[in-house]
Structure 1
């Protein structure tokens, strides 16, 4: 049996202009399906109470917590983009490529699908075993395009920790799903509809 040579793999920084837009969208959806499957597999072994996890026991406070948290994140993000040099927040143009030419319905579907899949894995499955701190480290690590600068890494970690915290406060996975959706949707719309300078 021939050995596989891992030294042949080379990681390099990829710019958005090197990536086909269709390939990027397909990659996004395939990755999210894998995230969803992984979350489902982990939860199968943990056997959590899905009715408790998706509870609306706190009623209106579930979306209120989610939207308020999302608005706080968006304000911080907009302040950072206003006062920090662009090279610090640069993700290689990936978000631009994902959202720039998408119709509003696709931004909505994409944001909702990502929020559902990632929150099911990170808050629903992993946080139950690892807690919010280690879950947030893993969440920041998989958002690899932000690892180039400490500020963006810290922001992604903080957002993840906040999502974990609001999940603990309300006891409902709907809260971080709503927050994650609102953040992604509004940022996607900002990218899609902003005027070029």
Structure 2
């Protein structure tokens, strides 16, 4: 069954539930793996530091840079190159702006805990960034989207290499997903504030 056909059979509500469940599973997996791969569960605290300078410089500015580049590419390239089968459009256009905050924060926390917090700290930058890109397998047959996710994965992984601070990468990830989610919501959800 093609992705488009499968998407037509799933309601927006079920799509949102699946997204949230997958992120909860990522958090659970990150915590479970940390029990086996970390010397102590308190190792998590080494990677969480509220450093406002790092958060602004590496987290916020990097997030805005990625969004600006992405929006330029969306304008410059034919729309078929950014067509993910309508998944992002369906998810974000059906959410309120407040729900977009919650969902994108959950995604950023879950994915950064697993991919940077566990996989990158234990297995290294290259493997963690590669796994992150491959997990987004729905982009494999979309070259522009796949290259974008690969570059993004290595970029966020590099930010973690520089800072060793999950709050920074969570900020970057959240800002990217949130702003792009708001753009989708505004374009396809009618722009209302509900």
Give the alignment's TM-score, normalised by structure 1. Answer: 0.87
The partner residue of 2:11 within 20, 34, 40 is: 20
The partner residue of 1:55 within 46, 49, 56 is: 49
Aligned length: 185
List runs of 5+ in structure 2 lacking aligned partners: none
Q: Once the two structures are superposed, what CA deviation does each residue of 1:20-72 show, in whole Å capped at 9, x if it has no partner?
A: 1011011011111111111111111222622211023x442223311111111
Task: Check if 1:32 corresponds to 2:26.
Answer: no
Q: Once the two structures are superposed, what CA deviation does each residue of 1:122-162 show, in whole Å capped at 9, x if it has no partner?
A: 00011122222221221111112211122211110111111
Larger Rg belongs to: 1
- Are the aligned partners of 1:25 and 1:98 in contact in 2 as well (CA < 8 Å)? yes
List runs of 5+ in structure 1 lacking aligned partners: 1-10
Which structure dedicates a bigger proportion of its chain to helix?
Answer: 2
- Runs (4 or more) in structure 1 with deviation over 4 Å come to none
- Are the aligned partners of 2:125 and 2:161 in contact in 1 as well (CA < 8 Å)? no
CA-CA distance at 1:14 after TM superposition: 2.9
Residue of structure 1 in register with 2:128 after alignment? 135
Residue of structure 2 in register with 1:90 after alignment? 83
CA-CA distance at 1:13 after TM superposition: 2.1
CA-CA distance at 1:170 after TM superposition: 1.3
Indicate the larger mover: 127-136 or 64-73: 127-136
- Cα distance in 2 between the residues matched to 1:132 and 1:71: 23
Give the alignment's TM-score, normalised by structure 2. Answer: 0.89
